Amino acid sequence: MSKPTHFDESGDARMVDVGGKTATKRTARAHAFVRMSPEVLASLPSNPKGDPLAVARIAGIQAAKRTADLIPLCHTLPLSHVDVATMPEADGIRVIATAATTAQTGVEMEALTAASIAALTIYDMTKALDKRIEIQDVYLLEKTGGKSGDFRR
C-alpha cells in the first residue's frame, strides 16, 4: 500500500508540496441534483426571493474561487474558467459545474464545490416553498490533465 499523501511522518495532516510539479492545463466537471416537486419548479419564475437559478450560478462561481478557504488541504488555484449550468427537469434542477486552470494540481474540488454550493443556493432560495427539497448525487463527472490522466464517469 502506498504512503498517504496528506500526512507527514508523524501522522499529522499536511498540505502536499506540489512545487516540483509542472503546471499543466487541467479541467473538471461536477454534478449535483436538486430534487423538488413540480409545484416548486413551476413557481421558480415568481419566486419571492428572486431567480434561484441565476443566484445559484453566481454562488457556484464564487464558491469555486473560495475552495481553498473551505477545504483545509486544498491549494489556492489560479482559475482560468468557472461556469455553472442549471437545467430544470421534470423532478428538479440538474447542476453542472465546470472549472479550469493551468496549475500544478487538479481542479476537481473547485468543480465539486461549485456544484454543491449552487445546489445549496437553490435549496436556500426555495426552502420556504417546500422543506422536502433534496440535494442528491454530488459527484465528479470528468477531469483532464495531471499525472493521473483523464477520468470520465
How many whole angstroms from its chain centre is CA 84?
9
User: CA 53, CA 148: separation in Å to the nearest integer?
Assistant: 34
> Catalytic pick from 8, 12, 91, 124?
124
Phi, psi angles (nearest 5°) of residue 50: 110, -170
Q: Which amino acid is at 61?
A: I
Q: Is 8 considered catalytic here?
A: no
End-to-end CA distance of the chain: 25
Residues annotated as catalytic (active site), given as ranges: 124
